Chains A and B, each alone.
Chain A
């Protein structure tokens, strides 16, 4: 087995909630929230991993930690063997050519006063272009993402959501990265346009051998485009494995709940819904034991007191639960499927 392209090992990220003086005054011993609590995964070349979770689960934070935008408290992020967390900003800089990120807000992640041409050639200007003809590069990139050449002169506010997304992809591809991190690539896009972006990812992956990390809360997207997926809750992975396997035989109750919270566009679909009650607890008030126990249908005594350990279930499929599900997930089945 070759070294994976990206290897994240026991990553932890904390954020300060208040300054040291205020914490002292209020008697708060540990004024931090743990956004990411010991997450491990890896992505090989040409592979797509989906990170799934609700808002506040920490998935965007992981992406930012990988890109060096937020500091890691502990753990490591290795890219092609090198530990990025140990590098100074200056030494980190060249790696930004190999990893590119696309952000959630398609138009908001584009600098409003620059033309599309300037936006997609920005990576060249930052990292030094040598003698490259930027106009030519811009044309090449636009073509790669399926946009007409005259988009080069447009401004972000003149683009539709789908077009702005493509510009984001073009910009991410500028320096031929090996890994692309896409934060909610289909959010805000109409259903008829979502497919365009996802198909684009699939094509680019086939053509360029890209590794892709997709962050989303949309399980439908995950199913079609990822090889493996990881489900997050309150900063931890609760389940991780090959997509089809996790979809059809989920082991963790949260995974099951997420899968059934997917309304089907069919009024006659039998609602075999696992109702998940309540809301995600605040990161400042983490439940004891298994953190999901407050919303879990199957919670029992042990779940309240003891945190579950990582269990393997078949090849590269793991989960953390005391009482994992054993039957195949039937989800919501139509009367005649």
Chain B
């Protein structure tokens, strides 16, 4: 029994035959899940170590053929300014991940908080929050992005803000539903009978039980978030040149698609890989953590 948990809700894991190793073992049996894990690791490591592994400086313009097809020197060819596309793709991963992490972290924390309050609090508060969530969700992302861009201009922060705010309602709703379901569980009643207040109940007894599925859902949203960033950047509302992002690579490539299809393909491939990777991994994780599918209970 090497997974200990104090009532602060933090999990301290020790390697061994604890839950973590068991889950890892279960993951290793799921082939698609392993593939997903590999893809995700590739992208994450690539983004972190981008500076060291890029064959060329992503911003530097090289004297040489423009829009060249893939060759031994430039594996993905060059773009319209003569920059190495491969290097830009790798560096673009950094932007993608920054957006993904920042966005999801913000959306998750705010969504979690609001969802807990909506699910556990009084009816009127729940109704008010639901109204808020629905209002935000009914706004088309592009229009919302346009509005924000008008206010603070296009940038990485714009993208993060827009995507985060539009993601909050979904997470909040999921947390709210789970909280509501758990509210009538006997162990919650037992805590109330002992005198625990709502804050304690939410933080220590409800939160740890809702956060698992939430994290898995969030991991499956990563490709979505990255795609939205790519879309916004493609539309010119996100990252500004010359910073490479997958969206800008696609955008640039789109203009010159008649001259060379390679930049578009190059920009699209990482998005596909990210989507596949996180989806496979997320589904495998969900299967592992779903107690109904667990055979050891």
A and B directly contacting (CB within 8 A)? yes
Most buried by B among A97, A103, A114: A114
Give residues 170-201 of B contacting A (CB, 8 Å): 185-187, 189-196, 200
Give per-residue flags for B198-242: 1 if the beta carbon is below 8 A from chain A beta carbons, else 0: 001000110011000000000000000000000000000000000
Is the Cβ of B193 less than 8 Å from the Cβ of A112? no
Contact of B187 among A67, A97, A109 (CB under 8 A): A109
Q: A115-B4, A118-B5 are in contact. Are A93 and B187 (CB under 8 A)?
A: no
Given the complex, which residues of A lie within 8 Å of B297, measured CB to CB? 157
Given the complex, which residues of B lie within 8 Å of A205, measured CB to CB? none
Given the complex, which residues of B lie within 8 Å of A171, measured CB to CB? 190, 194
Give residues 108-141 of A contacting B (CB, 8 Å): 108-115, 118, 121-123, 125-127
Given the complex, which residues of A lie within 8 Å of B194, measured CB to CB? 96, 100, 122-123, 126, 171
Contact of B195 among A93, A108, A154 (CB under 8 A): A93
Measured between alpha carbons, how far is A121 from B6 in the docked complex, in Å?
Answer: 11
Measured between alpha carbons, how far is A154 from B2 in the docked complex, in Å?
Answer: 10
B294 to chain A, nearest CB (A): 10
Is the Cβ of B187 less than 8 Å from the Cβ of A108? yes
Give residues 9-37 of A contacting B (CB, 8 Å): none
Given the complex, which residues of B lie within 8 Å of A126, measured CB to CB? 194-196, 200
A181 to chain B, nearest CB (A): 9
Is the Cβ of B185 less than 8 Å from the Cβ of A108? yes
* Number of interchain pairs (Cβ within 8 Å): 68
Given the complex, which residues of B lie within 8 Å of A109, measured CB to CB? 186-187, 189-190
B1 CB–A CB distance under 8 Å:
yes
Is the Cβ of B187 less than 8 Å from the Cβ of A127? no
Given the complex, which residues of A lie within 8 Å of B1, measured CB to CB? 153-154, 158
Q: A108-B185, A112-B209 are in contact. Are A101 and B190 (CB under 8 A)?
A: yes
Is the Cβ of A96 less than 8 Å from the Cβ of B209? no
B5 to chain A, nearest CB (A): 6
Interface range on chain A (Cβ under 8 Å from partner): 20 to 34
B71 CB–A CB distance under 8 Å:
no
Give per-residue flags for A212-232: 1 if the beta carbon is below 8 A from chain B beta carbons, else 0: 000000000000000000000
B150 CB–A CB distance under 8 Å:
no
Measured between alpha carbons, how far is A103 from B186 in the docked complex, in Å?
Answer: 7
Q: A118-B6, A126-B194, A126-B196 are in contact. Are A112 and B187 (CB under 8 A)?
A: yes
Measured between alpha carbons, how far is A127 from B9 in the docked complex, in Å?
Answer: 18
Most buried by A among B5, B9, B193, B297: B193
Measured between alpha carbons, how far is A247 from B133 in the docked complex, in Å?
Answer: 59
Give residues 65-124 of A contacting B (CB, 8 Å): 67, 69, 93, 96-97, 100-101, 103-105, 108-115, 118, 121-123
Give residues 140-180 of B contacting A (CB, 8 Å): none
Q: A118-B5, A125-B7, A154-B1 are in contact. Are A69 and B189 (CB under 8 A)?
A: yes
Is the Cβ of A114 less than 8 Å from the Cβ of B5? yes
A18 to chain B, nearest CB (A): 14
Measured between alpha carbons, how far is A158 from B19 in the docked complex, in Å?
Answer: 13
Given contacts A113-B5, A113-B9, A121-B7, list 17 more A-B pairs with CB under 8 A. A67-B193, A69-B193, A96-B194, A96-B195, A97-B195, A100-B193, A103-B186, A103-B189, A103-B190, A108-B185, A108-B186, A111-B187, A114-B7, A122-B194, A123-B195, A153-B1, A158-B1
Closest A-B pairs by Cβ, 9 of them = A96-B195, A109-B186, A118-B7, A108-B186, A109-B190, A111-B187, A101-B193, A113-B208, A153-B1
- List the interface of chain B (C-beta within 8 A of A): 1, 4-7, 9, 185-187, 189-196, 200, 204-205, 208-209, 297
- List the interface of chain A (C-beta within 8 A of B): 64, 67, 69, 93, 96-97, 100-101, 103-105, 108-115, 118, 121-123, 125-127, 153-154, 157-158, 171
A-B contact pairs, 17 of them (CB 8 A): A69-B192, A69-B193, A93-B195, A101-B190, A109-B186, A109-B190, A112-B209, A114-B204, A115-B4, A118-B6, A121-B7, A122-B194, A123-B194, A125-B7, A126-B194, A126-B196, A126-B200
